[in-house]
């Protein structure tokens, strides 16, 4: 590789970092066994998130009954942010991946389609881990089994993919 090619590659990498597009797979503590979700958006020069968006799958209520019932049959779900998702004291594991603008646009388009079609939550069939696993696989990453606790799921996801 010539020095001009190497300089061009370094410049491209620098521009990608400056643009600050990211996705972060996260888990957090909760009263139950926790929650798995994705945070995505842009970062500023110091790496802080700017207007992050959240995508996750959970029963569409704050009532405990659907969570219990969702272990036996599907219950209505929501796919946005839930209480505690962006609060650092509740985070139990995370894996941030910096993206180019094109990669970011592709994964955001996938997330939006996934959110539209994900209407039910079932603890053992289609849970928050399964939702995040679909996002990770759409990006070409391997995913662990969906029956892990959220913290273990995110930790294994990161480890399986060299993060």
pLDDT in 10s for each residue of the chain, 163 residues: 444 444 444 434 434 445 699 999 999 998 788 999 999 999 999 999 999 999 999 999 888 899 899 999 999 999 999 999 999 999 999 999 999 999 999 999 999 999 999 999 999 999 999 999 999 999 999 999 999 999 999 999 999 999 8
Q: For the chain, first and last CA: distance in Å?
A: 27
Q: How many Å apart are CA 108 and CA 36, to the nearest integer?
A: 17
> pTM value?
0.87
Q: Give, as one character, the DSSP assignment of residue 43.
A: E
How many residues are listed for the chain in this entry? Answer: 163
Tell me how crowded residue 52 is: count the other CB atoms within 10 A of its CB. 17
Q: How many Å apart are CA 49 and CA 128, to the nearest integer?
A: 22
Q: Angle at which helices 128-138 and 101-117 pack, to 10 degrees?
A: 140
For the chain, the structural domain boundaries read 3-160
Burial-class residue 163 by CB neighbours within 10 Å (0-12, 13-18, 19+).
middle
């Amino acid at each position: 590789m010539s020095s001009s090619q190497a300089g061009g590659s370094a410049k491209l990498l620098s521009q990608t970092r400056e643009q600050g597009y990211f996705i972060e797979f996260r888990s957090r503590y909760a009263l139950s066994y926790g929650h798995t979700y994705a945070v995505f958006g842009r970062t500023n020069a110091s790496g802080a998130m700017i207007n992050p968006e959240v995508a996750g799958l959970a029963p569409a209520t704050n009532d405990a009954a659907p969570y219990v019932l969702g272990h036996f049959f599907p219950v209505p779900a929501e796919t946005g942010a839930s209480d505690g998702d962006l609060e650092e004291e509740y985070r139990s594991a995370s894996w941030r991946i910096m993206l180019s603008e094109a990669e970011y646009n592709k994964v955001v388009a996938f997330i939006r389609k996934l959110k539209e079609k994900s209407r039910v939550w079932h603890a053992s069939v289609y849970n928050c881990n399964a939702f995040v696993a679909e996002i990770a696989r759409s990006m070409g990453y391997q995913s662990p089994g969906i029956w892990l606790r959220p913290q273990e799921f995110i930790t294994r996801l990161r480890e399986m993919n060299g993060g």
